[in-house]
Amino acid sequence: MIEHEVVLILDYGSQYTQLIARRVRECRVYCEVLGPEVSSSDLAAKKPRAIILSGGPDSVDREGAPQLPDGLLDLDVPVLGICYGLQLLARELGGRVEGEPTGREYGHADLVIEPDSRLFAGLSERESVWMSHGDHVAEAPPGTEVLARATDGVIAGVRWKDRPVHGIQFHPEVSHTARGLQVLENFLYEIAGCRGDWTAGRFIEGEIERIRQQVGDGHVLCGISGGVDSAVAALLLHAAIGDQLHCLFVDNGLLRKNEGQRVMEAFRSHFKVPVTSVDASEVFLKELAGTTEPEAKRKTIGRVFIEVFESESKNLSDEPLRYLAQGTLYPDVIESSPVRGPSAVIKSHHNVGGLPERMNMELVEPLRWLFKDEVRRVGAELGLMEDFVQRHPFPGPGLAVRCLGELVPERLDKLREADDIFISELRKEGLYRSVAQAFAVLLPVRSVGVMGDYRTYEEVVSLRSVDSDDFMTASWSRLPHSFLARVASRIVNEVPGINRVTYDITSKPPGTIEWE
């Protein structure tokens, strides 16, 4: 196995823990998030270059609050405590932590920074940061040097003089802390001595080796959805095990216009990875007939997918297929880990659960250590075309969540045409890549209009386009009026059965991105 440097992040429950991990990866340092109950010997076994202690909602003195792993500080590994992490270190080493009766509220704070520290090298004497105004270190432990205070005097940064341990009260990982990345870089490169050589290329080398070790001469089944994740997973697997990989693309009749052909074309001609394509649209639409309730649609689609996938995979290979590839990403892994407690919401609706158990297969998850932007970089490195890498996400249940009401072929076709006009106009205007996700939704509503001399009574399309980094929150895209006008008029003129177009100006929250 190729060795790469690793930084471990102990998650004390902060809403920002994942962001710390993303920032560390941005510094090209591989990192993993672990629960605070991990033992020091397990930590040591991973040979970390550094350990970062996240923030968290608790108070260090509360009975039952998560603590430092026993013996952590004897490992002699550089440690950075952030907020709750700092408070744990301070209390452990003889300082005093004080609570704020108002609880933990975040806000801007101005720091006054002492000159000449390695942690704050390159920062100005004053910096604006994002800080919790709850518990704080009221008395620095013996043997420490205070490196920064907030303007109200609260200790914001400390260094232990005789160990490689630092703590900060503010959050360097959030964008509101203007120079936060610099602080993390200082810690990783200057204090912990990281090289920062975690690149897509190195990931691919290591992962190819890992896949080979896991599957040996076994055969792997990989479902292709048309999205980036499954494509990157398939390319990685193909690079690792060649024709031990068997890819299956199920057309459920709920894809965008020309999507099926486009995906098959990309795999066959461009990536040279063989894929078996199955047109199951009739089965899906027959099973969905008469269903209008969103949750029922999702359930039916999940069930039929499993049935089709299972029966079709039997014809793929003479060899037994012992492994099932899945494009699980790191955020799903972190979100499903029990240490996050109630703050972790598992997006179970995003996955077709139950497949590996039902088919009695072992999972191969080549992307389980990557964030979405890293998947894109790995994809680009593996030769995925720009066009494919930069695609907007498309939900597993496809147009079922965008065709409200009955899923009949005529309505799905209408939606496909309208969506295609919207997306191709976005591309033509150079706007496609500047928005995070865009699509058309067909509403189960008719309204009156006039076309020439005739009164019309037809269906309504709503256009949805959002800007978002992580799809957890999103704001509606401020697309130019002239652009929206052109799209609306093309849709009404070119798509029979649609006589009205609206633009969705709801942000998430309170709206969701999809309408369902």
Single residue of 164, 294, 393, 449 touching ligand XMP by CB under 6 A: 393
User: Which residue, 274 or 405, has its beta carbon nearer to ligand XMP?
Assistant: 405
Work out how close the CB of 291 gets to ligand XMP at its nearest, in angstroms, rounded to a whole number.
Answer: 15
Asked if 241 contacts 220 with a C-beta cutoff of 8 angstroms, the reply is yes
From candidates 270, 350, 358, 428, binder to ligand XMP by CB under 6 A: 350
Does 226 contact ligand XMP by CB under 6 A?
A: no
The span from the CA of 474 to the CA of 435, in Å, is 10
Would you state the structure tokens that stand for residue 392, as one six-digit string? Answer: 């907007």
Burial of 189 (0-12, 13-18, 19+ CB in 10 A): middle
* Residue 513 contacts ligand XMP per CB under 6 A: yes
Question: Which of the following is catalytic: 5, 127, 173, 425?
Answer: 173
Report the distance separating Cα 213 and Cα 215, nearest Å. Answer: 6
CB 232 within 8 A of CB 327: yes
- Closer Cβ to ligand XMP, 252 or 499, answer by number: 252
Q: Pick the stretch among 52-60, 165-173, 277-285, 388-396 that binds ligand XMP (CB under 6 A).
A: 388-396
For the bound state, the minimum distance from the C-beta of residue 353 to ligand XMP, rounded and expressed in Å, comes to: 12
Active site residue 171: yes
406 carries an active-site annotation: no
Q: Which stretch binds ligand XMP (CB under 6 A): 186-194, 274-282, 453-461, 506-514?
A: 506-514
Give the nearer residue to ligand XMP in terms of CB position, either 189 or 471.
471
The residue whose two tokens read 């007939």 is: 289
Q: Tokens representing 1?
A: 């196995």
Q: CA 6 from chain center: how many Å?
A: 20
What are φ and ψ of residue 8, in 5° steps?
-105, 140
Interaction of residue 512 with ligand XMP, rule CB under 6 A = yes
The tokens describing 245, both together, are 């990989």
- What values do phi and psi take at 404, rounded to 5? -75, 140
Q: Which stretch binds ligand XMP (CB under 6 A): 15-23, 49-57, 380-388, 393-401?
A: 393-401
Cα distance between residue 74 and residue 163, in whole Å: 10
Q: Could you tell me which residues come within 8 angstroms of residue 265 by beta carbon, excluding any fewer than 6 positions away?
A: none
Residue 508 within binding range of ligand XMP, rule CB under 6 A: yes
Q: Which of 55, 180, 366, 397 binds ligand XMP (CB under 6 A)?
A: 397
> By rule CB under 6 A, what string of x and - marks binding of each residue 411-440 to ligand XMP?
--------------------------x---
Strand partners, 150: 111
194 is catalytic: no
Cα–Cα distance between 347 and 22 in angstroms, integer? 19
Residue 379, interface with ligand XMP (CB under 6 A)? no
Q: Which of 5, 31, 166, 171 is catalytic?
A: 171
Give least dist CB 507 to ligand XMP, A: 11
Binding to ligand XMP by residue 372, rule CB under 6 A?
no
Which 454-473 residues touch ligand XMP, going by CB under 6 A?
471
- Exposure of 392 in the CB half-sphere (CA atoms within 13 A): 26
Cα–Cα distance for residue pair 263/323, rounded to 1 Å: 23
Task: Tell me the closest approach of the beta carbon of residue 460 to ligand XMP, in angstroms.
Answer: 20
**Cβ atoms of residues 24 and 188 within 8 Å:** yes
Verify binding: residue 514, ligand XMP, rule CB under 6 A: yes
Q: Is 349 in the site for ligand XMP (CB under 6 A)?
A: yes
13 is a contact residue toward ligand XMP (CB under 6 A): no
Q: Please state the φ and ψ torsions of residue 308, each to the nearest 5 degrees.
A: -65, -45
The minimum distance between CB 17 and ligand XMP, in angstroms, equals: 20
Q: Which of 92, 514 has the CB closer to ligand XMP?
A: 514
Positive or negative, the CA dihedral 68, 73, 74, 79 is positive
Catalytic residue among 31, 83, 222, 247: 83
Tell me the pairing of strands 79-82 and 96-98: unpaired
Regarding 483 and contact with ligand XMP (CB under 6 A), the answer is no
- Closer to ligand XMP by CB, 78 or 396: give it: 396
- Candidate list 155, 396, 416, 492; residue touching ligand XMP; CB under 6 A: 396
Q: Which stretch binds ligand XMP (CB under 6 A): 24-32, 106-114, 368-376, 507-515?
A: 507-515
The minimum distance between CB 514 and ligand XMP, in angstroms, equals: 4
Q: Which stretch binds ligand XMP (CB under 6 A): 57-65, 207-215, 394-402, 482-490?
A: 394-402
What SS3 string covers 395-434?
CCCHHHHCECCCCCHHHHHHHHHHHHHHHHHHHHCCCHHH
Number of residues that bind ligand XMP (CB under 6 A): 12
- Spatial CA neighbour of 398 closest among 459, 367, 439, 345: 439
Alpha-carbon distance of 321 to 417, in angstroms, equals 38
**Per CB under 6 A, 133 contacts ligand XMP:** no
Q: Residues 436-470, buried b or exposed e (16+ Cβ, 10 A)?
A: bbbbbbbbeeeeeeeeeeeebebbbbbbbbbebee
Give contact residues for ligand XMP (rule: CB under 6 A).
Answer: 349-350, 393, 395-397, 437, 471, 508, 512-514
Residues labelled catalytic: 83, 171, 173
